Copies of this chain bind each other. A is one copy, B any other.
Amino acid sequence: MKTKLQEWMIASIGRSIHAVRMNLIILQPLEVDAENCAVLSDERAQHIRKVLKAEVGKELKIGLLNGPLGIGTVQTLENQTVELSCIFKEEMPPKPRIDLLLAMPRPKVLKRMWAQLAALGVGRIVLLRAEKVERYYFDSHVVEPGFYNKLLIEGLQQACCTRLPDVQVEPLFKPFVEDRLECEFSNHWKLLADPSGEKRLRNFQPLSSFAKAPADLREKSRRILLAIGPEGGWTSYEREMLKDRGFELIGMGDRILRTDTATMGLLSVLNELFGSDR
């Protein structure tokens, strides 16, 4: 018995594929039956037939949403449907170690960020109101799960990952920061990107030793929470509130970057220096 959300999730996986490079076919757990067989009839099936030009016996890279990667062998190809026999790996891919506290960007900007956030790898995304964030941004369809999950899954299929970022929308700054931030992110290393930040990521002492640490040590290390302000910046009140809760200010140099460029850039730097992948 599938719930409405599950039904929708399956539909959205199928819908998401047009014009996107699908380096991984993502399956919902409910799509795989007890014999490890999955029958696809949506855009994924089209992609397998038309782009990958798969024939019976062809092995495809597959992944279970929020689960392991694996191999799907084409069993039958009929009309619009493709039947895959699935074998999944034992181990689960690790959850991306970086979480993001993002002052809600303009809907147009956020729209183009979703897939790339999933592709670069983020564990959890908190979209937060700030003084310089218009209230109406939160009424946009780009913060509806039906909209963003589709784009997040596109990003996962592009990047060959299965971990769907958790998304949390917080339309009130003060209650979230005062009452819940510390509790929900109690063990995170907290970084606040800000033009006033003089410390650079390249100069962090723990970082250089960290990069040299063996993989299993890195694996066990703390998660990171990266906070990125709105286009106009945090107010000094907001900045102080965050600093009081353990955020360290970091700078990115002299250049003033667009929110989306700054976010992708900082995620790339953090992934390079602290990422849990090889």
Q: Which residues of A contact B (CB under 8 A)?
A: 21, 23, 116, 119-121, 158-161, 200-203, 208, 211, 231, 251-258, 261, 264-269, 271-273, 275, 277-278
Contacts and interface: CB of A to CB of B under 8 A. Distances in A.
Given A254-B160, A256-B158, A261 B21 contact: no
16 contacts: A116-B261, A119-B257, A120-B265, A158-B257, A159-B255, A159-B257, A160-B256, A202-B272, A253-B275, A253-B277, A261-B264, A264-B264, A265-B265, A265-B267, A265-B268, A268-B269
So how many copies of this chain end up in the complex?
2
Contacts of A211: 202-203
Q: Which 8 pairs across A and B sit closest by C-beta, in order of nearness?
A: A265-B268, A253-B277, A159-B255, A202-B211, A254-B277, A269-B272, A268-B268, A23-B256
A275 B266 CA distance: 14
Report which residue of A116, A161, A253, A278 has the largest number of chain B beta carbons within 10 angstroms of its beta carbon.
A253
Contacts of A266: 268
Contacts of A252: 272
A16 to B, nearest CB: 15
A264 B268 contact: yes
Given A202-B211, A269-B269, A254 B278 contact: yes
Contacts of A273: 202
Contacts of A253: 271, 275, 277-278
A273 to B, nearest CB: 5
Given A254-B278, A265-B268, 8 more contacts: A21-B231, A116-B258, A119-B261, A158-B256, A253-B271, A253-B277, A265-B271, A269-B272
B119 A258 contact: yes
Contacts of A269: 268-269, 272
A235 B107 CA distance: 39
A253 B21 CA distance: 18
Contacts of A202: 211, 272-273
Contacts of A116: 258, 261
Nearest to A159: B255
Contacts of A200: 272
